[in-house]
Amino acid sequence: MAKVVSIKRGLWEQLYLPELVRGVGITLKHFFVNTFGSKEIVTVRYPEEKREYPPRFRGVHRLMKREDGSVRCVACMMCSTICPAQCIYIVAGERGDGTAIEKVPVSFDIDELICVVCGMCVEACPCDAIRMDTGRHYPPVDRRDQAFMQKEDLLAAGGPNVAVQGGAGPDWRESYRPLGSDRQIYDREGKLAKQIKGS
Amino acid sequence: MFAIIVAALIKLVILLAFAISLAAVLTWMERRQSAMMQDRIGPERANLLPPRPGQVLGRLRLFGLVHPIADALKLAAKEDFVPPKAHRVLYAIAPILTLVPVLLVFAVIPFGPPVCMGALGAKAPDLAQCTRVELLQVAHLDIGLLFVFAIASLSAYGAALAGWASNSSYGLLGGMRATAQMFSYEITMGMTVMGAFLVYGTLEPMAIVQKQATFSQWGIVLQPLGFILFFVAAIAETKRAPFDLPEGESEILGFFVEYSGARFMMFYLGEFVEIVFAGCMITTIFLGGWQLPGLMADGLHWFGTVFSMPHWLVVLVQMATFMAKVFLCCFLQLAIRWSVPRMRYDQLMKLGWKGLLPASILNVVITAGVVLWSQAQVLPR
C-alpha cells in the first residue's frame, strides 16, 4: 500500500518568495564555502587523483608463477569452464620435466572486453594460478584485437606464490610422514612394502 | 559632428566590450558557479599552454576562464546545418533577430556619470560651466526606457521565427511558448517600471540614475515591491530557469533545436547578453546605476571623513561601481537559476497573469497615490 504523505503548506510557504530566498541562501552558502572557505568538494579529479579501491576489488587478471618462474597454471580448464562469459581460451600442452605436474598452458588468452569481471575463474582455480588482484582496470584500447591478454601479458603482472603445488611428487608414498604416527606403505599387490616411523 | 560620432563609437566600444565579455564570462560562471553550489568543481581543464612533461593538466588554465574561448572556437568550427525543409531566409534571420535587439538596447544604459571633458583633473568641476559635457551613455534619448521595451520586444520575433522557420514541431512548440511567455511577462515589466517612472518623473535612464544620489532614493528602497516584480519578470524575459519553458530537454527541446554551429552560438550568446542586460536594467532603475553611496563629485564621504578625488578618478570609480552592480545582479540571477526548480507551463502563465500582473498594477496604483499625496503636500493650494 502506498502511503500518502500530505505536506501542510501555510501562507508563508505558498507565498513562494520567502522559500525561494531560503533556497538561494542554502545554495549560496555552499557556493561561498566551496569557493572561499573550507572546500567540501566531493569531485575526484580522475587522472591525477585516484580513489583507493577496496582490498577485494576485482581488476585485470594475472597469472601467478612458481618459484622457478614458470606458470602455475596446470591447464585444468576449470576457469574456462566456469566462465559465464566464455572469454578464457586455453590450449593445454605437455610440461614434460618429469615432475608430478604434467600439464601446462601453451597459450592462455583472456578477452577482456567480453569478461564480465565476476571473479568465478579465481574461485574455480584449484592452483591459485589466476588472480584478479592487480588493482587496475583494463585500459581502453583502439582495436578489437588489443583487448586480448595473452599468457605473457598475464604473467608479466604475476608474482611468486609460495603455496606447495602438486603434493610431494610421484614418490609421495615414500616421503609422506604424518606427525606422531607410524605408517605402513603397501605396494600395488597389497603386500606391506615399508614401515615408516612417525616422527 | 565628427567628434560626436567618434565619442559615440568609443562609448559603444566600452559598453559592448563590457557586455559581451561579461556574457562570455557568464557562460563559464554559469557552469563553475553551479558546480561550486553543488559541491562539484566544474570546468577548469581548458588550457592555453601544453602540460609540462610528466603532468596531465595543461598550464595557464585561469580557473577555467579559457573554456568560453574553447567553446566559441568549437561552435564556430561546427557544420552550419540547415534542415532540408526549413525556410532558409527566416532561418538565417532568426538568430540575428534575437541577438541584435539585445545589443541595441544597451544604447540607452548610462554606465557612468556626465564627464566634464575640459576639466578631467580638476576637483568637482561644475557641469553647468563646462564647455563640453560627455554623458557616459551611447544614446541620450528622452524616451529611454520606452525605447528599451520597444526594441527588446523584437527578440520575441527571433524566438518565434526560429521555431517556425526550422520546420520542426518541437522547435515550433518552443517558439510558441517563448512568444507567449515573453509577451506575458513584458506587460508585468512595463507596469513595474511605470512605478519607477512615477517616482522619478522621467523616462530617461541617465536622469533616473542622477535622481538616486543617496541610498534612501534608490529604486529598491522606494519601490521594493516593484524591484521584486521586475526581477522576476526579467528572469522570465531571459527565458531561464525557473522559467525556462521555451527550452526543455525532456519535453520540447526548445525553439533552437535545429540550430547548430555559429547560429546556435548567437542564440546562446544572446541569452547571456540578455542576462547582462537584465542586470543593467535592474541596476539602472533600482540599484542606483553608477551611484556609490557616499561618493560625491569631490570624493568619498565615508565614516565622517572626506577622501578627496579628482574628477577622472570619480568617473572611473563610478563606472566600476556600475559594472560591479551589474555583475552582482548577474551572479544573483545565476544563483536563482541553479537553486529553484522549474515551473510547469500553466504555473508560469498563472504566476504571470494572476500573480505578477495584478501585483504590478497594485504597485502602480499605490505609487501613484503616494506621489499625488506628496505633491499635494508640496504644491500650494
For B144-189, the DSSP string reads HHHHHHHHHTHHHHHHHHHHHHTT-HHHHHHHHHHHHHHHHHHHHH
pLDDT recorded at residue B377: 83
Specify whether the CB–CB gap between B94 and B275 falls below 8 A. no
Write phi, then psi, for B319 (nearest 5 degrees). -65, -45
**Whole-number mean pLDDT of chain A?**
83
Specify whether the CB–CB gap between A78 and A109 falls below 8 A. no
pLDDT digits (tens, 9 = 90+) for B127-153: 778 878 888 888 888 888 899 999 988
Nearest to A129 by CA among A57, A54, A58, A78: A78
Residue A199 has pLDDT above 60, yes or no: no
- Residues above pLDDT 70, as percent of chain A: 84
Q: Does A26 touch chain B (CB under 8 A)?
A: yes
Out of A36-40, A137-141, B176-180, B266-270, least confident range: A36-40
Q: Does A34 touch chain B (CB under 8 A)?
A: yes
- Residues above pLDDT 70, as percent of chain B: 99
Are the Cβ atoms of A30 and B36 closer than 8 angstroms? yes
Angle separating helix axes B144-152 and B88-104, nearest 10 degrees: 160
**Could you give the angle at the alpha carbon of B362 between the alpha carbons of B356 and B366, nearest 5°?**
145
Q: Cell 600442452 sits at which residue?
A: A93
Helices (H) and strands (E) in chain A, counts: 6, 7
Are the Cβ atoms of A24 and B339 closer than 8 angstroms? yes
Q: Which three cell numbers stand for residue A152?
A: 605473457
Residue B236 has pLDDT above 60, yes or no: yes
CA distances from B335 to A27, A31, B31, B197 (A): 8, 9, 11, 29
Closest residue of B to A47, CA-based? B56
pLDDT recorded at residue A40: 81
Q: Which three cell numbers stand for residue A28?
A: 549560496
d(CA B242, CA B263): 25
- Secondary structure of residue A183 in the 3-state scheme: strand
Model ipTM?
0.84
Q: Is the torsion defined by CA of A140, A145, A146, A147 positive or negative?
A: positive
The residue with greater pLDDT, B265 or A193, is: B265
pLDDT recorded at residue B320: 94
The nearest CA of chain B is from the CA of A17 a distance in Å of: 9
Specify whether the CB–CB gap between B311 and B298 falls below 8 A. no
The residue with greater pLDDT, B120 or A181, is: B120
The nearest CA of chain A is from the CA of B66 a distance in Å of: 18
Q: What is the DSSP letter of B16?
A: H
Residues 6+ apart with CB under 8 A from B258: B81, B83, B86, B91, B166, B167, B168, B171
The pTM assigned to this predicted structure is 0.81
Out of A23-27, A180-184, A192-196, B123-127, least confident range: A180-184
Q: Length of chain B in residues, anyone?
A: 381
The residue with greater pLDDT, B55 or A25, is: A25
pLDDT digits (tens, 9 = 90+) for A60-114: 999 998 878 888 899 999 999 999 999 999 999 998 877 778 889 999 999 999 9
Residue A178 has pLDDT above 60, yes or no: no
Residue B273 has pLDDT above 60, yes or no: yes
For A101-133, the DSSP string reads --EEEEEEEEETTT-----HHHHH-TTS-EE--
Are the Cβ atoms of A31 and B228 closer than 8 angstroms? no
d(CA A16, CA B336): 13
pLDDT recorded at residue A182: 66
pLDDT recorded at residue B60: 82
pLDDT recorded at residue A174: 61
- Count of C-beta atoms within a 10 Å radius of residue A129: 27
Best of B339, B340, B351 to disrupt the A interface by mutation (most A CBs within 10 Å)? B339
Residue B360 has pLDDT above 90, yes or no: yes
CA distances from A171 to A118, A189, B72 (A): 38, 17, 78
Listed by start position, the domains of chain B span: 74-113+140-378
Across B154-182, average pLDDT: 89
Q: Cell 576489488 sits at which residue?
A: A57
- B332: β partners: none
Are the Cβ atoms of A34 and B339 closer than 8 angstroms? no
Q: Does A15 touch chain B (CB under 8 A)?
A: no
Specify whether the CB–CB gap between B297 and B314 falls below 8 A. yes
* Res. B221 pLDDT band, cuts 50 70 90: very high
Across A185-197, average pLDDT: 71
Distance of CA A79 to the CA centre of its chain: 12
d(CA A151, CA A172): 31
Residues 6+ apart with CB under 8 A from A16: none
Closest residue of A to B355, CA-based? A15
Best of B41, B228, B350, B354 to disrupt the A interface by mutation (most A CBs within 10 Å)? B41
Across B191-209, average pLDDT: 91
Are the Cβ atoms of B39 and A23 closer than 8 angstroms? no
The residue with greater pLDDT, B63 or A117, is: A117
pLDDT recorded at residue B341: 86
Q: Is the torsion defined by CA of B173, B177, B183, B186 positive or negative?
A: negative
pLDDT digits (tens, 9 = 90+) for B87-115: 999 999 999 999 999 999 999 999 988 88
Q: Does A41 touch chain B (CB under 8 A)?
A: yes
Are the Cβ atoms of A27 and B40 closer than 8 angstroms? no
* Residue B163 identity (one-letter amino acid): G
Are the Cβ atoms of B39 and A27 closer than 8 angstroms? no
Residue A175 has pLDDT above 80, yes or no: no
Specify whether the CB–CB gap between B161 and B93 falls below 8 A. yes
Write phi, then psi, for A66 (nearest 5 degrees). -80, 180
Residues 6+ apart with CB under 8 A from A12: A18, A19
In this structure, are strands A62-63 and B299-302 parallel, antiparallel, or unpaired?
Answer: unpaired
- A90: β partners: A108
Best of A26, A27, A38, A46 to disrupt the B interface by mutation (most B CBs within 10 Å)? A27
Partners of A48 on chain B (C-beta within 8 Å) are 56-57
Q: Does A27 touch chain B (CB under 8 A)?
A: yes
Out of A87-91, B200-204, B241-245, B364-368, least confident range: B241-245
For A59-81, the DSSP string reads -S-EE-B-TTSSB------HHHH
pLDDT recorded at residue A166: 60
Across A115-122, average pLDDT: 94
Q: Length of chain A in residues, anyone?
A: 199
Across B242-251, average pLDDT: 81
Q: In what order do the strands lie in the sheet with A148-149?
A: A88-94, A103-111, A148-149
Residue ranges of chain B whose CB lies within 8 Å of a chain A CB? 33, 36-41, 56-57, 228, 332, 335-336, 338-340
d(CA B67, CA B75): 12
d(CA A90, CA A149): 12
How many A/B residue pairs have CB atoms within 8 Å? Answer: 46
The nearest CA of chain B is from the CA of A175 a distance in Å of: 56
pLDDT recorded at residue B279: 94
Across B67-87, average pLDDT: 90
Q: What is the enclosing helix (H) or strand (E) of B134?
A: strand B133-134
Partners of B39 on chain A (C-beta within 8 Å) are 30, 34, 40-43
Partners of B332 on chain A (C-beta within 8 Å) are 24
In this complex, which of B40, B56, B339 lies closest to A23 when CB atoms are compared? B339
* Res. B282 pLDDT band, cuts 50 70 90: very high
